[in-house]
Amino acid sequence: MDLTRSSQVVATVPGKGDQILQNAIDSFRTVLTPEQLAEFNSIQSVPDTDAVLIFTAELDLRRRSQKGKSIASRLFPVLQAVHNFTAVIDTFISSNPTIAALVWGSVKLTMQIMLNAASYYEAFAELFMNLGTICPRFEQYQALFPNSERLQTALCNFNASIIRCCQHVIDMPKSGSGWTSPLNPLNASFWQSFQQAFESNLQELRDYSKNVKEEIRLAQAQSEYRNRELQRIEQDQAEKSRLSLGRFMSRTRDDFDTMRQSQVLRNQQLEKKNQKLLDSLSSHDYLKPLKQARQKRYPQSADWIFDTGEFKRWAEGTAARFLWCSGKMGSGKTILAASVIDYLLTKPSQAGSRVTFFFSRFDELESLTAETTLRAIAKQLIYPRDISDYIKQALEKVQNANGEVLSQVSELFIHLLSKGSRTTWIILDGLDEFPRDERRKLIDVLGSILLVPEVKMFATGRDQADSILARANPGLERLSMNCPLGKSGMEELVNQAVQNCLDAEELLVSDKELIAEIKNTLTQNANGMVLWVALVLRDICTQPNNEMVRKAIAVGNLPRSLTDVFNRALERIISTGGERVTQALLPWIVAAKQPLTLPQLQECCFISILQKHSMKDRYINGIQRLDAWFQGLVEIDHETKTVHLVHASVQQFFQTVPDKPNLAKFHVQAKEADLHLGEICVTYLNFNDFKTTLSRRRPPLPPMAPDEICAQALSCEWSWAKLLILSRGIPSGRRRAADIDGVVASYARASDATVQETIINDHPFILAAREGLLGIVQMLVKGGVDINAGMPDSHGVPFNLPLMASIETGQIGIMEYLLQNGANPNSRTTSYRNALEPAAELGGFEGIQACQMLINAGAKPESGEQEPTAQSTLGYNALQRACRRGEFEITRLLLDAGADANGTPKAAKADFPLQLSIRSENIPIIDILISHGADVNVQTSDGDAITPLLKACSLESPRLVIVQLLIRAGAKVRDSKDKGDRLLQEAIRSGNCNLRQSYQQLVEMESTMKKSYAN
C-alpha cells in the first residue's frame, strides 16, 4: 500500500490540526475586502515545487515602478517554511484538500496586499525576515510528521499563528492603531511602533516554535522505538508465515492492522532513504547567491538585456542555444544573471519549462569545482516523488563512488535533461572564476549537455570568452554588457541609487541641480562598473556640504579605477579611527575558508594566543555595524548573518601589497593569515570552557630509591641500556652491564665534584625530556634528581639541560612540569643563553606556548647576554631567532617582556633583529620592531656597514612597501660617506622601476626639507 494513500485512510475524519488551521483561515477572511475575499476563496490548488522562487520573482516584477532595491528575497525563509508545511498537511492530515492551499494562499495574499502599501512593505518584509529565523526546519520534522499527532498539532499551531500575524498585518492600516502621524517608513517612531504592535504575535510564534522543537525531540525518540518494534514485527510475521493457510485465513483484524502499520513504516523508511539519496547528491546552498543578488538589484536596472537582439534570438530559439554574456570586473554580471532567472521564471511563455542555475562564489571554494556545480544543477532537476529506479540506481552509484565521480554525475545529468520534451534553462554565473582545470572539466560536460535539443544555456564571465569555451562551443552567441543598451541600464541604476540615498537621508543634498550633476557624473564616468558607482556614491554621501560634494565629483578628483576607490574607502576608515577593529577583522573575512557569521566574528576577533577561556569583555561591541566600519567593502547577508566581501576584486585588493605605505597594515598575506587563524582556532578548541571531563587525583607514589627508579626505567625501555653503552663510547660488541649506580649518582643532589663529572649528555633524564616520557621524568624528579644540573664544559657551562631538551622537541607537557618543579628558565648551556632561545627556534604554535610559559616563569629575554668566554661563538639571541624565522607572535612576546629591539650579541653583530626581519620580508615584524625603538639607521659591525634600508634594497625582489616603511620611520636615504650611491646601485641592480623612481623622489624630498630648514 502506498504511504500517501495509507496515511489518507487513517486521516479521513477531521482532526485537531484541521480545526486549528480552519479557525485561523476563517478569522483571516474577516479582514479581507470583498475583492480580496473572492481572490482568496478562488485558491484551490497546493503550490508547485518552485512556487517560492516564482512568487518572489513576481513580487519584484510587480514592484518595478517603485524605487529602492529588491527585498522580496527577504521573505524567502517564511515562504519556504509555509510551502513545505502545506505539502505535508495536504498529504497526511487534512480531510479538506483546500486547507493546505488556503494556508499558503493567506501568506501569499498578505504579501501581495502589502506590496500595494509602499509605506508598509519594507517594514513588513523586515518583520517576516525576523520571523524566518524561528520557523521550524522542514528537514527536522519531515520524516517524523506522519506518525506523531502531537507534532502535527504543534506545527499546525505554529502555522495558524503565522496566519493570525498576517491577519494583523492587513488589519493594522485599516484600524490606524499604533501610528498617529502620516506613515513614513524612514521615521524612527514608525519602526518602533511597528515592532511594538507585532510583539505579541512574535512572542506567540516564539512559544509555538519552542513547542515544535520539543515535540520533534519526543517524536524522534518514539520513531526510534517504532523502528525497533518494526523489526520485531517483521520477525514475528516471518515466523507466522510458516504456519498453515487455514491459520493464515483466520487472522484477526488486529493482525491486518499490524501488517498495515508495518507497511506504512516501511514506506516511510523508503521515502526517507530516497530523500537521503537526494541530499547526498548535493548539500550546496545554490539559492543563497540568487537571493543576495536579488537584494542588490534596483528595479528595471537590468531589464535592458531583454531588449537586445542577442537575448531575444536566444530566448526564442532562433539562434545558438548558448548565450555568453561578458563584462569587466564589477560590472554587475551576477545581478544580471539573477534578472535572467527571474525573467524565465515569470514569463508566461516559459510556463512548464525547468529553470536551473548556479552562482560561483569567490569566497566559497567548494563552489569553484565542476563537480559541485553539476551536482547542484542535477539536484534541481529531481523531485523526491519522481525518483525512478534508474535515477535511484544512478544516485546510489554516485553516493558509493570512490575518488572521481564527475563521469557518474555527468551521466546522471544528461539522463535527467533528456527526459521529456520540456525546455531546460541552465544559468551559470562567474564561469571565469573557476580554476582553469575545473573550468575545462565543466566546459567539457556542458558541451555534451548542449547536444540535448531541449537545453538552453546562459553564462556570464569577464570581457572575453575563455579559449576553452570558444573551442568547445564555436557557435555560441555573444553579448557584451558594454553595448548601448547596457549603458542605458547604467543610467537607470545610477538614478535609482542616488534617489535611494536621498530617501534614506544618507545623501543630504537638497539642491536639485547638484543632484542632477551627481547623477550625470556617475553615469558618464562609471565605465560600466556597478561596483564603482556604489562605492563612489558612498564616498559622496560622507561629504559635509555642497562645496565638498562638488569637489568630490570633479572629474580630476574621481577615482580612476576600482583600486583607487578601495584606497579611498581605507582612508575613510583611518579618518574615522576604525582601523584597529577592521584590521583585526580582515584576516577572518579575507582568509577564512568559508564566510563567518556576525556572532563568530564578534567572539573570535580579539582572542589572544594561549588564552585559557572565553572572555566576554573581549567581544566586539556593535558588531552589527560592521558594514559601516568597512565603508561598504563588506556586506552582511540578512538571512544567514554571514559576512562577505562585496566582490572578488575586493579580496584581490586586500591580498595585494598596497601602493600607499599608510595602508600597508590592511594587507593580508595568505600564509600569515592562515597561520594566525589556525593558532587562534587551536587556542579556542583548548578553552577550559569545553573541558568537562572530571579529573581524578592520583594518590602520591610511594618513595623509591634512585636505583629502583633507574632499574624500572631501564626494564621498560630496552633501548636505554644500549644508549647508555653508546654514550660512554663502549663498542656495541662488548658485553658490559650499565653502571646504574653511577648514572643515578650523576644526577643526585650532591655537591661532590667527582660525582658531577660522571654526568653524560645522553643521560636517561635528558632522553626522557626530549622524547616526552612524562612518567619517567616524574619518577626521576621525585627520586631527587637535580633538574638544573648537567655535565659542564671546561668553563662550567652545562652541555645540555632537561628543560632545553624538552623545548627543542616541542614537549610542552614536560616543559610545564619541569618549570613547576623548579627548572630555571634563565639557565645557560653551551648552545643557548637561556631557554627562550630554543623556544624561539621551535616556532609555530608550540613555540608561542613555550615562550609564554617561560616568560610567566620569569625568563628574561636579555639574561645571559654576557658571553661565558671571550672565545664563545654563541649565535643569535631569542629575538634574532624569532625575527629570522618570521615568528610575529613570538617577537611580540619577547619585545613586551623587555627584549632590546637593537640588542645583538658579539658573535652576531652582522645581523640586527631589524635586518633579519627585512631579510624574511615580514612587514608586521618590521613594524613592531620600529614601534619598540629599533634603530632604522643602525649599521652592522662586520665591515660592510649594512643599514636596514640598504638591506631592503639588496633583496632579490625588493619590496617598495618595506623601503617606504623604513624611510617614514627616519631611515636616511643618503649619508656623508657614500651620498646614497650604494642605495642607487642596489635599486638599479634589482631592476625595480618603482624602487628607482621612489629613490629619486626621496632625494628630491630630502633636498627640499634641507632648504626649508635653512630658511
Element at 156 (helix H, strand E): helix 149-175
Angle of helix 16-29 relative to helix 149-175, nearest 10 degrees, comes to: 10
Asked if 766 and 800 touch (Cβ cutoff 8 Å), the reply is: yes
Banded pLDDT at 952 (limits 50, 70, 90): confident
Which has the minimum average pLDDT: 93-107, 352-366, 538-552?
93-107
Q: Residue type for 206, please?
A: R
Q: Look at phi and psi of residue 558 and say left if phi exceeds 0, alpha if psi is from -120 to 50, else beta.
A: beta
Asked if 973 and 999 touch (Cβ cutoff 8 Å), the reply is: yes
Q: What is the per-residue pLDDT for 462?
A: 82
Residues contacting residue 887 through CB under 8 Å, at least 6 positions apart: 840, 843, 844, 847, 848
Examine the pLDDT at 640 and tell me if it is beyond 80: yes
The rounded distance, in Å, linking the Cα atoms of 362 and 367 is 8
148-152, 183-187, 979-983: which is most confident: 148-152
Averaged pLDDT for residues 410-427: 82
Cα separation values, 226 from 150, 268, 504, Å: 16, 12, 57
Number of neighbours of residue 665 by Cβ within 10 angstroms:
18
Averaged pLDDT for residues 234-255: 54
The C-alpha cell of 476 is what? 555560441
Examine the pLDDT at 839 and tell me if it is beyond 90: yes
The C-alpha cell of 148 is what? 506523531
79-93, 204-218, 265-279: which is most confident: 204-218
CA dihedral angle for residue 877, residue 880, residue 882, residue 886, rounded to 10 degrees: -160
The rounded distance, in Å, linking the Cα atoms of 271 and 265 is 10
What is the percent of the chain where pLDDT is above 70?
75
Using CB atoms within 10 A of its CB, is residue 601 exposed (0-12), middle (13-18) or buried (19+)? buried
* Cell 582612508 -> residue: 571
Q: Where are the alpha helices (DSSP H) in 510-591?
A: 512-525, 530-541, 546-552, 562-575, 579-590
The rounded distance, in Å, linking the Cα atoms of 901 and 938 is 11
Q: How many helices (H) and strands (E) does the chain have?
A: 49, 7
Examine the pLDDT at 709 and tell me if it is beyond 50: yes
Asked if 589 and 645 touch (Cβ cutoff 8 Å), the reply is: yes
Asked if 100 and 46 touch (Cβ cutoff 8 Å), the reply is: yes
* 842-875 per-position pLDDT tens digit: 888 889 989 999 999 989 887 544 444 433 446 7
Examine the pLDDT at 963 and tell me if it is beyond 70: yes
End-to-end alpha carbon distance in the chain: 103
* 759-770 per-position pLDDT tens digit: 444 577 888 888
φ, ψ of residue 354 to 5 degrees: the values are -105, 130
Banded pLDDT at 983 (limits 50, 70, 90): low
Q: Radius of gyration over alpha carbons of the chain, in Å?
A: 37
Q: Which domains occur in the chain, in start order? A: 3-223 (no CATH), 282-482 (3.40.50.300), 484-558 (no CATH)
Banded pLDDT at 630 (limits 50, 70, 90): very high
Q: What is the per-residue pLDDT for 987?
A: 58
Using CB atoms within 10 A of its CB, is residue 694 exposed (0-12), middle (13-18) or buried (19+)? exposed
The rounded distance, in Å, linking the Cα atoms of 787 and 806 is 12
Q: What is the per-residue pLDDT for 720?
A: 44
Using CB atoms within 10 A of its CB, is residue 499 exposed (0-12), middle (13-18) or buried (19+)? middle
φ, ψ of residue 94 to 5 degrees: the values are -80, 120
What 3-state class would DSSP assign to 687?
A: coil
The length of the chain, given as a count of residues: 1015
Q: What is the per-residue pLDDT for 776?
A: 85
DSSP for 352-382 reads: T-EEEEEE--TT-GGGGSHHHHHHHHHHHT-
Averaged pLDDT for residues 901-917: 76
CA 531 to chain centre: 22
Q: Residue type for 737, please?
A: A
Asked if 78 and 201 touch (Cβ cutoff 8 Å), the reply is: no
Averaged pLDDT for residues 623-640: 90
Q: What is the per-residue pLDDT for 339?
A: 93
Examine the pLDDT at 981 and tell me if it is beyond 60: no
Q: What is the per-residue pLDDT for 28?
A: 92
Examine the pLDDT at 749 and tell me if it is beyond 60: no
Examine the pLDDT at 739 and tell me if it is beyond 80: no
The rounded distance, in Å, linking the Cα atoms of 971 and 490 is 49
The rounded distance, in Å, linking the Cα atoms of 165 and 81 is 15
CA atoms 665, 669, 670, 671: torsion sign: negative
Task: Please tell me the pTM assigned to this model.
Answer: 0.67
Q: What is the per-residue pLDDT for 484?
A: 87
402-406, 639-643, 705-709: which is most confident: 639-643
Q: Where are the alpha helices (DSSP H) in 886-919?
A: 888-896, 913-919
Banded pLDDT at 312 (limits 50, 70, 90): very high
Examine the pLDDT at 521 and tell me if it is beyond 90: yes
The rounded distance, in Å, linking the Cα atoms of 15 and 150 is 12
Cα separation values, 680 from 226, 382, 916, Å: 45, 42, 26
Quick one: which of 174, 162, 186 has its CA closest to 86?
162
Number of neighbours of residue 771 by Cβ within 10 angstroms:
16
Examine the pLDDT at 600 and tell me if it is beyond 60: yes
* 465-497 per-position pLDDT tens digit: 556 676 667 678 889 888 888 888 888 899 989
3-class SS shares of the chain: helix, strand, coil, % to 5? 60, 5, 35
Averaged pLDDT for residues 162-180: 72
Going by DSSP bridges, is the β-strand pair 634-636/477-480 parallel, antiparallel, or unpaired?
A: unpaired
